[in-house]
Amino acid sequence: MPDKSETRLVEAAFNGDIESFGELCRRYYGPMVAIGYSVLGDHQLAEDAAQESFARALINLKNLRNKTKFVPWLAAICRNVARDMVATKVRQISTKDFSQAARNNNHDENRRLIRRAIEQLPVSAKELIVLRYYNGLSYEEISSVLGISRPTINGRLTRAKRKMAKYLRRNGFSENRL
């Protein structure tokens, strides 16, 4: 659940206080960049996506019916902006960029495989992994961003990691390294 100050900030922004909107942006910039990164696989583009999603959110704030759902709403916009960027900027980002990253770190086979294992995950699981490990969000923070409960997050993270482990084993990652 969002705290009172957050709801007050959303109300104030809704009523025309741009600085309150700025405070919300500052609070959720990190999680939005993580969401962007889960789609784009590129740090710079992920920051662009987060900033663009703030712009879209500002002009669509009038349509936000439930003020307590501001962050999941913002996250949905950010997800869509990032996907639009994949489509319109015609970057074969997903697998290609992860492989590119791998080529840059040839000596680190572990990282290459881990990146691939993340890339192979279904979209929602990939997003959850990135939110958790990209800049270390707590379960509480993830819950606020995605609008889902902590036990659900726990279950989904466990399943995602199980899938990753399965992929890693299948691709020669030895058992004792897991």
Partner 1 sequence: MNADRNNKKLDELISKTISRDKPQFDFDKWKQAHKEEIQIYKSQITKRQISHSAQPLHALRIIMKSKISKIGTAAAVIIAGILLSMIVLDKTVAPAFGMAEVMAAMAKAEWMHMTWEYDELNTGFEFIEPEIRESWTSVNPKRNITVYNNGKVNFTEYSKDEIKAQQYDVETNVLTTRYIPTSKNYSYTTIVGMILGDIAELEKGGARVEYIDSFYDGNPAKIINVDTVDGNGVHYKKSIVVDVQTHLPKRATNISEKPGKITTANIIFDYPQTGPTDIYEAGAPHDAEVKIIGQRITPEFLETIKPYRAARESLPQQRIVVEVANENENHSVVSVIYTNGIKERFEQVRYVKNDTPPGTNDFNTILDWANKAMSDELGTHGIQLNDGTIVYCANRDYFNPWTSQKVSRLHYRVGFIPGGLIDRGWPIIRTGMFVENDYAINNNLLCIETTSEPRFTGDSKLAEAAEKTLYYIDPEHDYMCVRIESFRHPVFPPHGNPAVNVPVFDPIDIPFEPYLVTEVVQFSLTDTGHWYPSWIITTNKQSWSDPGSGWEMREKTFDIRLYIDTSPEFPDSIFDPESLPQ
Nearest distance from residue 94's CB to partner 1, in Å?
A: 9
CA-CA-CA-CA torsion sign (11, 17, 18, 20): negative
Nearest distance from residue 15's CB to partner 1, in Å?
A: 7
Euclidean distance between CA atoms 115 and 92, whole angstroms: 16
Nearest distance from residue 142's CB to partner 1, in Å?
A: 15
Euclidean distance between CA atoms 76 and 39, whole angstroms: 12
Nearest distance from residue 106's CB to partner 1, in Å?
A: 15
Confirm if 75 and 57 have CB atoms less than 8 A apart.
no
Question: Among residues 54 and 143, whose Cβ is nearest to partner 1?
Answer: 54
Binding site for partner 1 (CB under 8 A): 15-16, 18, 22, 25-26, 29-30, 33, 37, 43, 47, 51, 54-64, 73, 76-77, 79-80, 83, 87, 90, 92, 110-111, 114-115, 118, 120-122, 129-130, 133-136, 161, 163-165, 167, 175, 177-178
Euclidean distance between CA atoms 116 and 119, whole angstroms: 5
Euclidean distance between CA atoms 163 and 17, whole angstroms: 45
